[in-house]
Every structure is written in C-alpha cells, then in structure tokens.
Amino acid sequence: MSIYDFSAQTTAGRDIPLDKYKGKVMLLVNTASKCGLTPQYSDLQKLYERYQEEGLEILGFPCNQFAEQEPGTSEEAVSFCQLNYGVTFRVFAKIDVRGLQAHPLYQYLIEEAPFQGFDQTNSSGRLLQAVLESKHPELLPGDGIKWNFTKFLVDRNGNVVQRFEPAVDPLDMEEAIKQLL
C-alpha cells in the first residue's frame, strides 16, 4: 500500500486519485480557517511558489474536528484560503482526520508516521502541549492527529517520510523538502 492507493474529493465532489501526483514531493496538511495557526497558509503558499516547478505539491484538507475551527462549507474553506492567503495549491473538500470517521488517507498517514510528541525546545510546541493538556486532553493519547496544521511530507515514490506537528512552521520544513526535490 502507498499514498497512491488513495483519492481525495474536490469541493465539486470529484474524486482525484493521488497517483496523479506520482513523481512529485507532496506535503499533506489538515487545515482550518479559524485557528490560531491559520497564518501558516501564507508560508505554505511561499513554499509552493518556490518549489512547485521543482516538483512540490501541497494538498490541503480542511477539517472541523478541532474546536470547530472550520465551520463553513468546503467551498467556503477554499474561498477563504484564496482570498485571505492567495493560496493556489490544491485544497480539497472537508474531511475528518481522526477518529472512527477519519478519511482512509489520514488513517494511512498516521500509521506510516505516528505521533512523536511536540518539540519541547520550541515555545509553540510547549504552548500547544499545554493547551491540549488543559482544554482537550482527549486528543493527546495515541498517534492520531492532535490539531490543525499537522503536516506529512511524502517523497517522489509515495513514501511518507516525516510528520511535522502543528507548531512546526512551514518554512522550518524547507530543508527537508529540498532534500527530496
């Protein structure tokens, strides 16, 4: 099994097989429009503009599972990204990324790149850990997605290479991306 065995749905309801991205380096991100981390869209777009011609694809997956921070429709989520952050990378229809209804793609990503903890040397990592411990402790156990903007880096052969937790700024992943391009 590989990432290419999955598909994702556009806001128009059309399935896009991920094998469309064979030979590309992919960054898959669960997103939300009303999250404190939403400004990461800006740096994700910068990475996309810098490396798209070299083979980088960024795939956004809006999700409303974390404090209901993506409350609108899939179309509204895509429009928000485009209008507020100039996003030109593909943003798919809303999905669940954790729990019994998690999209099979995200079940696979979690299996391939389990949770390794938050970077405690990073103030954002410590803050996210503290917020989850106090307000959403049910999200901490296990390998599931902990919050919006968890990022998965996939190589040109469809292998999940690395998981970056929400507190990791997209520009801090640039070297890891460049190594795969």
Query: Which of 18, 27, 32, 35 is flagged as catalytic?
Result: 35
Phi first, then psi, for residue 26 (nearest 5°) are -120, 145
Residue 63 is a catalytic residue: no
Closest CA to 43 of 22, 62, 60: 60
How do the residues of the chain divide into helix, strand and coil, expressed in percent and rounded to 5? Answer: 40, 15, 45
Structure letter (DSSP) for residue 20: G
Rounded distance between C-alpha atoms, residue 41 and residue 64, angstroms: 16
Residues with a catalytic annotation lie at 35
